[in-house]
Amino acid sequence: MDIIVVGCGRVGSKLANLFADNGFNVTVIDKDAKAFSALGSGFNGRFVEGIGYDEQVLAEAGVDHSDVVAAVTSSDNANLMVVEVARKLFGVRHVVARLFNPERESAYSQLGIDFACGTSLVADEIFAKVLSGHGSHIGTFGEFEVLRFSLNLTLDRKKTIKVSELERDHDIRIIAFERKDASASSIPTKDSILYNGDTVMACVRNDLIDSFKRYMR
């Protein structure tokens, strides 16, 4: 797997080494060449000096054949620009942005942008997301995964669905949800109604995720 990490601060350097140590092909981008010293002498990947959302810099880093782009600079705006350029201009399958401002979480979910919010364990969280193979991963508990995603009902041509229907038909548990306009959030009952575009947190058995992905925008 080919991975680009944009930002080589504390989080970026740790994340790049996590990937490299696990056998991935890693390229690190940072606007300050001095930042690459944080990678350590044992780092066996590549590094490119430049602005992470610059198309030429991304092309030099090999974005055309990259499987993942993780933007972990200290700027929310820069991280957003990186992942938008990577996915919209270059068609990168999995992009992840580090997010500092938790008030933007709902907006990122609605836009379909995968993110990791916080500062302490961001590198570990992004690493787990990439290994899981999908952007909705929050955590793993034995044979179960906790997922956060924007609900997609378009394939079923529905605007709403009952929590009990979704749980019954797919053998999952809906833990919490937030309205797509962030007007309300709740721990659901069986009779709760979910709308297309709502942000949903659910517990899903590992072997059922592929069949359930149609509902994960």
**Domain residue spans of the chain:** 2-133, 140-215
pLDDT in tens, the chain (217 residues): 999 999 999 999 999 999 999 999 999 999 999 999 999 999 999 999 999 999 999 999 999 999 999 999 999 999 999 999 999 999 998 999 998 887 888 788 778 788 887 655 677 777 776 766 655 666 667 778 888 888 889 887 889 999 999 888 888 899 999 887 767 778 889 899 999 988 888 888 878 888 888 888 7
SS3 42: coil
Answer yes or no: pTM beyond 0.75: no
- Quote the pLDDT of residue 180: 73
* Other Cβ atoms closer than 10 A to 37: 10
Residue 37 exposure: Cα atoms within 13 Å on the Cβ side = 4
- Quote the pLDDT of residue 137: 63
Distance CA(27)–CA(204), nearest Å, equals: 33
- Quote the pLDDT of residue 77: 94
CATH code 3.40.50.720 for 2-133: yes
- Quote the pLDDT of residue 138: 66
CATH code 3.30.70.1450 for 140-215: yes
Distance CA(47)–CA(182), nearest Å, equals: 39
- Quote the pLDDT of residue 121: 67
